[in-house]
């Protein structure tokens, strides 16, 4: 496996988006997540450094994206989103609490675009793919 998602979501964001209990659960997992990252590095498996949006999956709106970008850590960060123009019956069955259009609106927001430009985001899938290729060498 060349790459793996590590569920390392900062406490402040997990608690903000899903409540204190999920935030505390995330914080309690931190020793295991650290061990997981250590083992992945030793095995040369590429992984993200942080993730945002897992605890409150389906609820990333403009305010949440702006909060993430204001405190964006260094490294590889995944923002967990499922934007869509509508949530049909097929999607709703497995994602009944998701706010797909709110996530799409957030990604389309001029304020989010401005915040992205301000933090000078570098990279994307192409850069991650190149890094994965290097980690396999």
Q: What is the model's pLDDT at position 105?
A: 92
Percentage with pLDDT > 90 across the chain: 34
In 3D, which of 2, 1, 8 has the Cα closest to residue 76? 8
Q: What is the model's pLDDT at position 75?
A: 86
| Rounded-to-integer distance, Cα 46 and Cα 75, Å | 12
pLDDT digits (tens, 9 = 90+) for 15-55: 877 778 877 888 889 999 999 999 999 998 889 999 999 88
pLDDT digits (tens, 9 = 90+) for 96-112: 677 888 889 999 999 99
* Cβ-based neighbour number of residue 50 at 10 Å: 19
Stated as kind and residue range, the H or E segment containing 79 is strand 77-79
| Alpha-helical regions (H) of 46-124 | 62-70, 89-94, 100-108, 110-119
| Alpha-helical regions (H) of the chain | 11-18, 20-28, 30-42, 62-70, 89-94, 100-108, 110-119, 125-136
């Amino acid at each position: 496996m060349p790459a793996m998602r590590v569920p390392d979501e900062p406490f402040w964001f997990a608690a903000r988006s899903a409540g204190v209990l999920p935030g505390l659960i995330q914080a309690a997992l931190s020793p295991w997540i650290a061990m997981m990252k250590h083992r992945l590095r030793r095995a040369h498996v590429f992984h993200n450094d942080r993730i945002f949006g897992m605890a409150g999956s389906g609820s990333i709106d403009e305010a949440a994206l702006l909060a993430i970008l204001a405190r964006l850590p260094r490294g590889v960060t995944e923002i967990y989103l499922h934007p869509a123009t509508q949530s049909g019956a097929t999607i709703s069955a497995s994602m009944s609490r998701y706010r797909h259009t709110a996530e799409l609106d957030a990604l389309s927001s001029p304020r989010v675009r401005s915040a992205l430009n301000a933090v000078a985001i570098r990279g994307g899938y192409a850069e991650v793919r190149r890094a994965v290729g290097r980690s396999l060498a």
